[in-house]
Amino acid sequence: MMDRRTFLLVCGAMLSAPLAAQAQQAANKVYRLGILSPGGAPDPSTPTLANALPLALRDLGYIEGRNLVVDRRFGEDRFDRLPMLARELVQLRPDAIVAGSGQATQAVRDVTATIPIVMVLSADPVARGLVASFSRPGGNVTGISTVAETSLAGKRLELLKEAVPKAARIAVLGSGSLASSVQLKEAQKAAEALRVRLVPVEIRDHDYDRAFSTVLAEHADAIFIVSGPTLVRDRKQIMERALRHRLPVISANPELVEAGGLMAYGNSPLDSARRAAVYVDKIFKGANPSDMPVEQPTRFDLVINLKTARALGLTLPNSLVKRADTVIQ
């Protein structure tokens, strides 16, 4: 798949890149980094935060096994495990902990107010009480916030309509979370301009058969999947049903496209890893997270699965395909 080849090429570039001059300081000490991910341990070739972050740090002079120890913990898609895993990491006394979701950030924050926490993919940290403000976080949490993720809902709907011009009714699969409701609200604004009707479908108790029964009963022409770790985890179940019923799907996550979705538009995981590495580097060198402004993403990737398009009998506009950052053949 193109995503994996791209990731491996980037990894190779990171490994072969010369170390920055300022990285000599890092060689004099062994740093310890914790990584808490809500998902499972990824395949080494998959472009995830847990895979890409150590490589991005290597490019800054922190080499695992030499002057860097990385302790990884994976929630295996069970949010109830995150508090226990957060405590395990804190007990190891790392110099910093990178948390790969809002839930993971909250879990670590609940057990330490002193160890610096670099959050990644945490929606609206101010509203969640994780930081005082974007410009001055004021505590031990900083990093990258995807608060802009909500505004991407409208853009995804536009892309889906561009790919499937005849789509008049679009099902919105959500988990019932606050993030789902915010994304639905943003998508609704775009739907009015695009003259399409959205059909909200809440997934309860992982009952995808019931959810798709609703989708079919509502005569949906396509599916819009809100971003969220639960739906990424269950992507195979979702995509098996979507393909069976010949329904094109757009989401925020490239993992769903690899599983058979038509398109994804969202934050670049490799870019997020590089930016998180910069935060970690500064913290290792003595920076205080309370004074490090929270960043919002500036790069978003469009991923298109042409294999799925052919299976669905869709001919995508060349102008759309040319804009894609990754095309799966």
State the Cα–Cα distance between residues 153 and 183, nearest whole angstrom: 6
* Predicted confidence (pLDDT) at residue 61 exceeds the cutoff of 90: yes
Buried b (16+ CB within 10 A) or exposed e, 64-97: eeebbbbebbbbeeeeeebbebbeebbeeebbbb
Q: Which two tokens stand for residue 92?
A: 């190891």
Structural domain spans, the chain: 2-148+267-300, 150-266+302-328
* CA–CA gap between residue 207 and residue 230 (Å, rounded): 12
pLDDT at 42 over 50: yes
Residue indicated by tokens 């994780």: 130
Q: Within 13 Å, how many C-alpha atoms sit on residue 288's CB side?
A: 7
Q: In DSSP terms, which residues pair with 326 in a beta bridge?
A: 303
Q: Do the domains 150-266+302-328 and 2-148+267-300 match in fold?
A: yes
- Mean pLDDT over 130-152 rounds to 87
Which stretches of 56-108 are assigned E, i.e. beta strand? 68-74, 96-99
Higher pLDDT, 234 or 117: 117
Phi, psi values for residue 90, rounded to 5°: -60, -35
Most confident of 43-52, 270-279, 309-318: 309-318
- Answering whether pTM is above 0.85, one says no
pLDDT at 153: 85
Q: Which fold has domain 150-266+302-328?
A: Rossmann fold (3.40.50)
Nearest to 123 by CA among 154, 82, 153: 153
Residues 72-110 pLDDT 10s: 999 887 889 999 999 999 999 999 999 998 889 999 999
3-state secondary structure string, 97-141? EEECCHHHHHHHHCCCCCCCEEEEEECCCCCCCCCCCCCCCCCCE
**% of the chain beyond a pLDDT of 70:** 87
Least confident of 183-192, 225-234, 286-295: 225-234
pLDDT tens digit string along 301-322?
Answer: 899 999 999 999 999 999 999 9
Mean pLDDT rounded to a whole number for the chain: 88
Tell me what the mean pLDDT of segment 202-207 comes to: 87
Q: How far apart are CA 313 and CA 322, in angstroms?
A: 19
Q: Which CATH number fits domain 2-148+267-300: 3.40.50.2300, 3.60.20.10, 3.40.50.1100, 1.20.272.10?
A: 3.40.50.2300
